[in-house]
Structure 1
């Protein structure tokens, strides 16, 4: 897929930059903003997005066809596309954690933040922020359960990723791919944390991904609980960690 590129040495946030850019500029195809240093990056719920000088940081403004709905499974599709791309560039084994994080054996290596913005002509665009840890980590990153990948070239990753993003629709083979690389095992004991109130927790057994992209949890009730993006899942064995992106 062809795309345009903006390369910045320093920016507050690549997502914020693209949202401002779209207010005065038209986009006819995906626009990627890459930076060497991000001073005010943010993740879900505006939590700080921790990066360092080795981090791979970029955002994509992806134009949407007018009238097309945003599928609930979009987060999964983006994570799968990133996973497919990274595994061609690094030796580490990587896993997919619902809804759109990537983990290796030591912890979280990549996160995705999805927002929606409009151009000056009211065209809707996805703003897809991606942060990937490359060696070495800051102590603050280790404290929240982060891990890091071997070095890879950002341009190589973008070339692969944009090919994999030629379609944002989840197909059956994508669900099969997720199941093959799922960070959580079927029947594994997990804790659930509500984003609205982090003190609210539930316990259950992970039952995989539903066709609408939700995570299925057996909480002992008559019906499975289906999680939306308003929840996070942790392995029961994990220590409490920050929910930052």
Structure 2
């Protein structure tokens, strides 16, 4: 995405003097790099090309120099048990930044996907991976991994062929001027730092209405729920105040909070 790491480094240093920077042309995994750091210091890791990235359940996530791939290591002042609402709010932050700086309108799909409708087809624009690095009395040190696709691709399926994957869809990052992309990135990093620093137990509830407007699924829509090898059809009921998924299956309301659970629209399968 960024052709000059020197210009990116200069702009990030100017805007975030207290943020450690690790910028690479090639790296196995930005999340993996931050996990291996011995110290706990707010750090941004960006790479032009990621060779061994991973997502939920260790699914492979590769990227080239046209995509946006980065991870942040930040302190979050809550316990691990109160993190369930953070991933949707991070997605909302990314979506708001895409709209504000690049004029791109995309959607959120629980728990960590960003979707884009392009030429009448639904595809996966990007994803979020959260990993806890350290827990202490003040809260958690959290790794926030984010990837956004620049270009579209053909439909692919997960290796286990159990949960159909969305087609990879890009938002045309290469079509924007580099200066505008850097402004977008600086704005996004600033918003993510602010979200992490101010996140609390009721943060999701306060932002629920904003997120609901960006939710790809409508309440009452038929969806498939994939959970630990099984698939069930139900009616989407949105998210509760803790950011957990609600689906009504056979007149019973089910609640899900695990990242191993996935939902798909019935009309896409």
Q: Under TM normalisation by the shorter chain, which class is it?
A: 0.7 to 0.9
Higher relative contact order (CA 8 A, sep 6+): 1
Q: Structure 1 residues 7, 193: CA separation in 2 closer, same or farther (over 3 Å shift)? A: same
Q: Secondary structure at the match of 1:149?
A: coil
User: 1:1-245 alignment to 2 at 5 Å?
Assistant: 2=16, 3-21=19-37, 23=38, 25-27=39-41, 30-65=42-77, 70-105=82-117, 106-118=122-134, 124-134=140-150, 136-139=151-154, 144-151=166-173, 152=176, 154-165=181-192, 166=194, 167-169=198-200, 170-194=203-227, 196-197=228-229, 200-221=230-251, 223-229=252-258, 230-239=260-269
Whole-angstrom distance in 2 between the partners of 1:68 and 1:112: 17
1:92/1:104 contact within 8 Å kept: no
> Which is richer in helix?
2
Q: Secondary structure at the match of 2:24?
A: strand
Give the TM-score of the pair, scaled to structure 2.
0.76
Whole-angstrom distance in 1 between the partners of 2:79 and 2:223: 37
Give the TM-score of the pair, scaled to structure 1.
0.83
Q: Structure 1 residues 176, 65: CA separation in 2 closer, same or farther (over 3 Å shift)? A: closer
Aligned length: 228
Whole-angstrom distance in 1 between the partners of 2:98 and 2:253: 33
Whole-angstrom distance in 2 between the partners of 1:68 and 1:99: 16
Whole-angstrom distance in 2 between the partners of 1:65 and 1:220: 39
Q: What stretches of structure 2 of length at least 5 have no aligned partner?
A: 1-14, 158-164
Q: What stretches of structure 1 of length at least 5 have no aligned partner?
A: 240-245
Q: Structure 1 residues 225, 50: CA separation in 2 closer, same or farther (over 3 Å shift)? A: same
1:108/1:146 contact within 8 Å kept: yes
